Structure 1
C-alpha cells in the first residue's frame, strides 16, 4: 500500500470508528506510522479529521432524534451521557474519544442542541489528543 492509500485507509477507519459502528482506528494509525514514519503529522491530521467527522455524524444523529423516548431507545436506556452533557456542556466532548461513552456524548450533545461549532472544537481537540498520545508513545 502506498502513502496516499495508507492515509485514505486511516481517514476511513478513523471516521467509521467514531460513528455508532464498532471499530478501532488506533491500530491503523500505528500501522501507517510504522510503515511511513515520515507521515507522522499527516497521519495525525487525517486521523483527527476522520474521527472528528465521525463524531459530528453522531452529533447530527442526536439532532434528528425527535424526543426522549427515541434517545432512550438509541442508547439502550443509558442516559448517562445526556446528564454529563447537561452538567458540563460541550467541554465534556473532550472525552468523545473514550470507548463506550464517546458516541453517547456526541449523540447527547446533538440532542441537547449544543452549539455545533463548540461541539466540533471540543471533539477535534479530544480526538487529536488521543492520537497524539498514541503516536508519541511509539517514539
Structure 2
C-alpha cells in the first residue's frame, strides 16, 4: 500500500498525524495529504482546522525542544555547526515572536521554531503567530486548488 492513500484511509486522524509529523524535524509533505482529502470531498473548513491545529502543535514541539533542551545538547546529535545555530538564534532574537509567522516555510520553518524556543520567545504570541502563518498557508493552498478539485 502506498503511503499517500494510507494516510487518507485514516480520515481526519491521518490528516492530523501527517500534518503534525510534517511540522517536526521529519521531512514530510502534509500538503499532498490535505489536497488528497479535499479531492475526496472533505469539507474545506474542517480540513483547514485539523491541518492547522496539527501542524501548529508539531511546530510547537520544535519550539519546546528548543526551550527545554540546552543548546549544547542539541548541537551534538544534530550536527548543526555552532555558528549556524547562533545565526538562527540571532534571527529569532531580532524578530521575536513575529518570526513564527514563517514557521510554515519548507526547510527553514523547523529551525525557526527551534530557535524561538532557544531564545525563549514568549509562548502565547509565538503560538498564535505560528498558527496564523500555518493557517494562511493551508487556506491559500485549499483556495488555489479549488478550481482543480472541482473538475
TM-score (norm 2): 0.83
Q: 2: CA distance between counterparts of 1:133 and 1:29?
A: 12
Number of residues of Structure 1 aligned to a counterpart in Structure 2? 136
Question: Over aligned residue pairs, what C-alpha RMSD do you find?
Answer: 1.9
Q: CA deviation at 1:66?
A: 1.5
Q: Which sections of structure 2, spanning at least 5 residues, go unmatched?
A: 147-151
How big is each residue's C-alpha offset from its partner over 1:11-57, in whole Å with a ceiling of 9 and x where there is no partner? Answer: 110000001111010000000000014x1000000000000000000
1:4 CA drift (Å) = 8.9
Report Cα offsets for 1:45-72 as digits up to 9, x if no partner.
00000000000000000012224x3344
Q: Which runs of 4+ in 1 moved over 2 A?
A: 69-75, 78-81
The answer to whether 1:17 aligns with 2:17 is: no
The structure-2 alpha-carbon separation of the partners of 1:61 and 1:75, relative to structure 1 and needing over 3 Å to count, comes to farther
Residues 116-135 of structure 1: pairs in structure 2 closer than 5 A: 116-135=123-142
Shift of 1:119: 1.0
Q: Closer, same or farther in 2 for the Cα pair 1:133/1:56, shift >3 Å?
A: same
The aligned counterpart of 2:44 is 40
Question: 2:91 aligned with 1:88, yes or no?
Answer: no
What is the TM-score with the length of structure 1 in the denominator? 0.90
Higher CA-based Rg: 2
Given the alignment of the two structures, is residue 111 of structure 1 paired with residue 114 of structure 2, yes or no? no
Unaligned runs of 5+ in 1: none
